[in-house]
Amino acid sequence: MPADLLDHKLLFVSGKGGVGKSTVAAALALLGSQRGKRTLACEIDAKGNLADFFEAGPTNYTPREVQPNLFAMSMDTEASLQEYLKLQMRLPAIARIGPLARAFEFVATAAPGVREILTVGKPVWEVREGNFDLVVVDAAATGHIVGQLAAPQAINDLVHVGLIRQQTSWLIDVLGNKETTGLVVVTTPEEMPVNETIELAARVEDETDVALSAIVVNRVLPELFGRQEEEVFEELRQPAAVAALDDATNGPVEPVMEGARLAVTMRRTRTGHIERLRTSVDPKIPLLYVPYLFMRAHGFRTTRQVADALSAELSY
Amino acid sequence: MAPKRRKDDERANSLEHLLAAKEIAIVCGSGGVGKTTTAAAAGAMAAASLGGKVLVVTVDPARRLANALGLEGFGNKEKPVPADAFKQAGVQPRGELWAAMLDTKESWDALIHLHAPDEETARRILENPLYQNVSGRFVQSHDYIAMERLYEIHTSGDYDLIIVDTPPTRNAIDFLEAPERMADFFSSRFLRWLTAPARSRVINFASRPFYQIADRILGTQFLQDISEFFMLFQTMYDGFVERARAVDRLLHDRRSTFIVVSTLENVPVREAEFFIDALDDRNFHLGALVLNKVLPTYFLDDGATRVAQRLCADAPEVAHAVESLVANPQMTPQVLREVGESYLNFQVVAKREQEQRAELAKTPEVVATVPYFDSDIYDMGGLLDLGFQIWGRHD
C-alpha cells in the first residue's frame, strides 16, 4: 500500500448516507489536482450533484475540466454500455442500438453485477488507459459498495466463457492491486455510521479484493476544555456564578452555558465512538479526522476546507 | 367543496391522532437520520397508550434496537416484546408491541413457494444461480419484498397497527414503485424474447441478432441460465402481477400513511423534500414529518447571543465578576471565551437548521421535532423518551 493515500491511482469513496461521502470524494479529488495530478472525479450514484461541490454546473458522462487539472463526470450506464461495446467488443454501431440496449436493461436488472461492472468498469478503464494520474470515485453507500466492488468476481462466477469473461479479469487485476487501488470509507463519530463502517471494513476484507486504505472521520467536534478548564466551567455553571455573570453581562448567561455543556457532552459521546472504531479496525488503517465545519456555506468553499483538513492529516 | 372541508376536519394534529386513525404507517427518509429508532419509538408509544396489537417491522438488523426492545434478537417471524421491557421503564402498556426484522432471502423463498405452480418448479427456481443473486443481492428486491411482506402481514389481520421501517434505498422512492416495476418486469415482451430459445429452440427473426451478440458477449451457459430463470419465473407471472397490484392498492388505501424522517442537515433535507413531492405526485398520504437531532432553540436567543459576543470580546473584564467563586481564577477568561465561541459556532448551525425546517414544514399535517439527545438510546426507557417527544400535539 502506498505511504500516501494520494499516491494511489484509483480511490473509491464510500460511507453511510449523510456522513459527507461526496464532500470527501470531491475534497480528495481537489487535493490531488492541487498536488499537480491530472485528476478525475467520477460520480457513480446518479444523484448528479457532484458538480455542486465544485460549483461547476451539471456533469455528464464526458469528463469536463471544472478546476485546473480537475475533471468531473457522472456515470450513465447506458452510455457506458455503448462505449464498452464499441471499444471492447468492437461491435458495429447497428448492433448497439434498439433492441439490444433495451434487452440489456432486463439482463442488467435481473443479473446483478452487469450494471455494477459497467459502473465500476469505466473508472478502472480510465486508470488502465493512463488517461488520468488519479481517479476518485464517489461510489455507492455502505450498503451497496461491496456488491459494486465484487461485481467482476460475481460475473466471473456466473459466466464461464465468452468475451465478458476476458474483460472481468483485467478489472479484477486493477481492483486487486493495492498499489493502484484503494477504498476510503467516510464516517461521522456517531453510533450507526461507526457500526456500519466496522461491518463494512470486515466485509471488504472478506468479500472483495480491494484494500481499505483509510477511514475519514468527518465532523469531529473540537475539544472545548482541558481537564482543569472543565473544572472551572463546572464552577461557572453554579447558580451564584451564573447570577454574577448575568449582572456583569446584562444578559441570560444560562443558555450560553447550556450550549457549552451540550458541546462537551456531544464531544464526549462522539469520542467514545471514535475509540470504538479505532479498536475495531486493523490498526494499520489510518483514521483521518476532518473537523466539524461551523459554517453556513456549502459547495466549493466546504470542499476546499475539507481538502485543507485532509491535507494536514496526510502530511504527517 | 364539501369533500375538502371533511378532509380538514380529519387532519391529525399529533402523531398520536394520526396513528390512532391508521392501520399502516410507513416510515421513510434517507439513511442515518434515525428512521429505525423513530419507527420503534412510535411503535412503543402506540402500544403503550393506544393499546391494541402493534407491530414494528424493521429492515435494520441493529442488535442494540433488539436489546432496547428487550429481545435477544428477532427475525422474519414476528416476536412479542416482553412486557418486562415496559415495566422496567415504569410504563404499563395498554396494548402489545411486536417486532419483526425483514429477511429478504427468506421472504423471497416463501414467495416462490407461494406462487410456483408446483414443488418441482419451486425447487428449480431456488437452485438457479441467477435466482440466488436476485434474492440475495439485487438491490430493488429488498424494496419489493418489504412491501410484499407488509401486505401479507396486513391481510393476516393479526395487528391493529403496523409500522414499517423502510430499507435505506439509494433513491428513496424506489420502494413505492417496486410493486409496479415488478409487474411491468414480468409482463414485458423482452422477457418473452429471452425465454424463447428455451421454450421452443426456434429463435424468431426479430430476436436473432440479439442472441448472436448476447452469445458472443455472455457465453451460452450464462444465456441458458438466464433463459431458464425467466422461463421458470414466467410460470408465476399471474400470481406476481396480481400480488404486486394488490400491494400497490394497499399503499394507496386511506388506512395507510407515510411518515418522513429527516435531520436538518443539507443532504437529508434535500432527500426529504424530494420524497414529500414524490409522495404527493403518486397520491400517497403524507401523515407526518419527524425532524431528528435538531439543535435546541436556545441557540437562537438574541439576549444570549449578546452575552456570547461579550464573552468573546471582554472575557477578562467579565471574569472579574466571578473571581471569588472559582478556585482557579486565572483560567476563567479562557473558559468564558471558549463558552462564548462555542455558542456562536453552534448558532450558525442552528440558524441554518431553522431555515431548513421552515422549508420542509410547509406540507405535512404533523411536524414533530426531536432535540439532540446527549447520548444514544439503549433501552425501552430511552425509546419512550424519544416517543414522548414526537407523540403529543405540535403547533
Count CA atoms within 13 Å of residue B304 on its CB side: 21
- Tell me whether residues A256 and B374 touch, CB distance under 8 A: no
The nearest CA of chain B is from the CA of A37 a distance in Å of 29
pLDDT at position B201, please?
A: 45
Q: What digits encode the pLDDT tens for the residues A20-55?
A: 899 999 999 999 999 999 999 999 875 667 778 888
pLDDT at position B171, please?
A: 58
Distance CA(B275)–CA(B42), nearest Å, equals 20
**Burial class of A170 by CB neighbour count within 10 A (0 to 12, 13 to 18, 19+):** middle
- Tell me whether residues B185 and A109 touch, CB distance under 8 A: yes
Task: Tell me which chain A residues have a C-beta less than 8 angstroms from the C-beta of B217.
Answer: 89, 162-164
Across A73-100, average pLDDT = 69
Q: Choose the closest CB to A248 out of B209, B221, B321.
A: B321
Q: Choose the closest CB to B137 out of A112, A232, A294.
A: A112
Q: Grid coordinates representing B347?
A: 448558532
A223 close contact with B: CB closer than 8 A: no
Task: Tell me which chain A residues have a C-beta less than 8 angstroms from the C-beta of B339.
Answer: 224, 233, 236, 256-257, 259-260
* B136 to chain A: closest CA residue: A112
Across A46-66, average pLDDT = 82
Residues B193-218 as b or e (16 or more Cβ within 10 Å = b): bbbbbbeeeeeeeebeebbebbeebb
Could you tell me which residue, A265 or B371, shows the higher pLDDT? A265
CB of A133 closer than 8 Å to CB of A39: yes
A195 close contact with B: CB closer than 8 A: yes
Residues of chain B with confidence (pLDDT) below 50: 1-9, 138-139, 198, 201-203, 394-395
Q: What digits encode the pLDDT tens for the residues A272-295?
A: 999 999 999 999 999 999 999 988
**For residue B137, what are the contacts with CB-CB under 8 A and spacing of at least 6?**
A112, A147, A154
Q: Could you give the angle at the alpha carbon of A57 between the alpha carbons of A51 and A60, nearest 5°?
A: 70
Q: What digits encode the pLDDT tens for the residues B295-349?
A: 999 999 999 999 999 999 999 999 999 999 998 899 999 999 999 999 999 999 9
CB of B357 closer than 8 Å to CB of B302: no
- Tell me whether residues B301 and A252 touch, CB distance under 8 A: yes
A positions 28-47 inside 8 Å of B (CB): 45
Closest CA to A16 of A149, A148, A222, A198: A198
Task: Tell me which chain B residues have a C-beta less than 8 angstroms from the C-beta of A106.
Answer: 185, 188, 190-191, 194
Please provide the DSSP assignment of chain A as one string: --SSGGG-SEEEEEESTTSSHHHHHHHHHHHHHHTT--EEEEE-STT--GGGGGT-----SS-EEEETTEEEEE--HHHHHHHHHHHTS---GGGGSTHHHHHHHHHHHHSTTHHHHHHHHHHHHHHHTTS-SEEEEE---HHHHHHHHTHHHHHHHH--SSHHHHHHHHHHHHHH-TTTEEEEEEE-SSHHHHHHHHHHHHHHHHH-S--EEEEEEEEEPPP---HHHHHHHHHHTSHHHHHHHHHHHTS--HHHHHHHHHHHHHHHHHHHHHHHHHHHS-TTSPEEEEE----S--THHHHHHHHHHHHHHHT-
- Tell me whether residues B140 and A154 touch, CB distance under 8 A: no
pLDDT at position A280, please?
A: 97
Task: Tell me which chain A residues have a C-beta less than 8 angstroms from the C-beta of B303.
Answer: 251-252
